Structure 1
Amino acid sequence: MDTRLTLKLNESVIEKAKEYAKTHNISLSKIVEQYLSSIVAKSDISPKEIELTPLVKELSGVITIPADYDCKKDYIDYLEKKYQ
């Protein structure tokens, strides 16, 4: 079932979107629908369901980070050294 939706957007964005839709022979409504569907679909996926690429799987476990590693402290130390 389709439902009407009213949006307020920047005029130049609307014009560019209309041109894009015309060029790709698709309605602006369909573009918005597909975009919103992709956002909703991404939020429904749990981290365990995300498939890793072979490269990421290969790199997994290459380095080990200590349990007590403080990345913020490390970053602060880096910035202090950089801007001395």
Structure 2
Amino acid sequence: MDKKLTLSLDERIIEAAKLYAKSNKTSLSKLIESYLNSLSGKTKPSEITPLVESLSGVISIDDNFDEKEEYTRFLIEKYK
């Protein structure tokens, strides 16, 4: 059951939060709800946050990309 909550915050913070929420295609209410839920430790592991959702699809990987092979190459280079 949803309930209304009144908050008093600095106007600049509110405007920045509104811009962030809009750029992540969510509402300020959902953003705050998600944040408060994460503080309580009750966030579902399968729940996708607005930030993660905004990053989805940013990188495209070839179908034949082998993660283990690339990681092995990375480690070999790193520890030369």
Give TM-score scaled by structure 2 length: 0.51
Matched, 1:28 2:28: yes
Q: Secondary structure at the match of 2:41?
A: helix
Which stretches of structure 1, 4 residues or more, deviate above 4 A after TM superposition? none
Residue correspondences, number:
42
Amino acid at match of 2:39: I
**Matches of 1:24 and 1:38 in 2, distance apart?**
17
Note the aligned Cα RMSD (angstroms): 1.1
- Can you give the 5+ residue segments of structure 2 that lack an aligned partner in the other structure? 43-80
1:12 and 1:26 map into 2 onto residues whose CA distance is 19
Choose between structure 1 and 2 for higher RCO, CA contacts under 8 A separated by at least 6 residues: 2
What's the TM-score once normalised by structure 1's chain length? 0.48
Query: Structure 1: 5+ residue runs without aligned partners?
Result: 43-84
- Map 1:1-84 to 2 at 5 A: 1-41=1-41
Distance 1:4 1:15 in 2: 20
